[in-house]
Amino acid sequence: MDCRYMNVFFIIFLILMVSVIRFIIKSNKKSGTIGLRIADEMVEHVLAKNVLYYQKLHQDQQKEFVQRVQYFLKTVTITPISQAPLNNEHRVLIASSGIIPIFYYPHWFYTLDEILVYPEVFNLNFDIDGANRNIGGLVGDGALKGKMILSLSALVSAYHRATNEHTAIHEFAHLIDKSDGKLDGIPELFFDNDNIIKWKNVMNLSMERMANQPAGINLQAMTSPSEFFAIMTEFYFQNPDELKEKWPEVFFILEKAFCNT
């Protein structure tokens, strides 16, 4: 065979091989086969030790929760920044924070590629030293679209001490909120038209009352509907009994939403 034809056939063969490899990689990404895998036994141990929500589930639900955590870990990259001492237990806790608000929505998942984990709280310039470091987490936009940024210290604090605040759940609540294209405190994933009206009324009245009775409430909840939803989501999962006692209207509509009833 003429060498020229051999060269042409070789080039065609290389092109086909590259195309096949790209297809395999792309297929693996879609199916979630590229990513971190932690032994189920370790995931179960971390959840049983740290996550009250998991502890209260029935055994079959706990198995489902573990599998949902595994799917999260396989499809979302979790990256330490600035030498954050991130370990697999932390990764499980991050994934758990994402699964908790959507556990009763098994066919829904976040539009999220990567979570960047800083060792401590940071400022708007993402500095972890110096003044004005009061940010424990945020959802990226623009150049950071598809990213979430979390403070490792804030994550650990939420799981290891009694508090109404949970930074990671707060940020996942924002992702749920903006999944319909608007960051307005009204996640259409949870509310049909009738319940949207009910939630708006409850939210507006509660924000007015909280302005006059701020005790025990993160004041940021009164700054916007989106912050109200995120902070009440934290409150609901961290201290449901207190939320039910102090703000029953908020509790019952959130219970209906998060339990998908």
> Could you report the per-residue pLDDT of 176-213, keeping only the tens digit for each?
999 988 999 999 888 888 889 999 999 999 998 888 87
How far is Cα 29 from Cα 232, in angstroms, rounded to an integer? 34
Maximum average pLDDT range among 13-22, 41-50, 191-200, 237-246: 41-50
Contacts of 206 (CB under 8 A, 6+ apart): 228, 247, 249, 250
Q: Which among 109, 106, 181, 114 is positioned nearest to 145, based on CA atoms?
A: 114
Q: What residues have CB less than 8 Å from 136, skipping those under 6 apart?
A: 121, 150, 151, 153, 154, 167
pLDDT of residue 133: 79
- Residue 47, φ and ψ in degrees, nearest 5: -65, -45
Question: Which pLDDT does position 140 carry in this prediction?
Answer: 85
Question: What is d(CA 143, CA 133) in angstroms, rounded to the nearest whole number?
Answer: 22
Question: Quick check: 259 pLDDT over 50?
Answer: yes
Does residue 251 lie within any of the structural domains?
Answer: yes
Which domain covers residue 187, as residue numbers? 180-261
Lookup: tokens for 161 = 């001490």
Residue 238 lies in a domain: yes
Q: Closest by alpha carbon to 117, among 142, 92, 94, 89?
A: 94
Does 55 reside within a domain? no
Residue 147 lies in a domain: no
E strand map for 2-146: 77-80, 114-118, 137-139
Higher pLDDT, 199 or 37: 199
pLDDT one-digit tens code per residue, 53-92 = 999 999 999 999 999 999 999 999 999 998 999 999 999 9
> Quick check: 154 and 137 in contact, CB under 8 A?
yes
Q: Which of 24-28, 158-162, 188-192, 205-209 has the lowest mean pLDDT?
A: 24-28
Is residue 211 included in any domain, yes or no? yes
Q: Which tokens sit at 14?
A: 């290389």
Residue 174 falls within a domain, yes or no?
Answer: no
Query: Is residue 229 one of the residues assigned to a domain?
Result: yes
pTM of the model: 0.83
Give 253's contacts (C-beta < 8 A, 6+ positions apart): 195, 198, 199, 202
Q: Is residue 175 part of a domain?
A: no
Total domains present in the chain:
1
Of 94, 13, 81, give the one whose Cα is nearest residue 50: 94
E strands, the chain, in order: 77-80, 114-118, 137-139, 147-151
State how beta strands 114-118 and 77-80 pair: parallel
Cα 197 vs. chain centroid, distance in angstroms? 26
DSSP class of 185: S
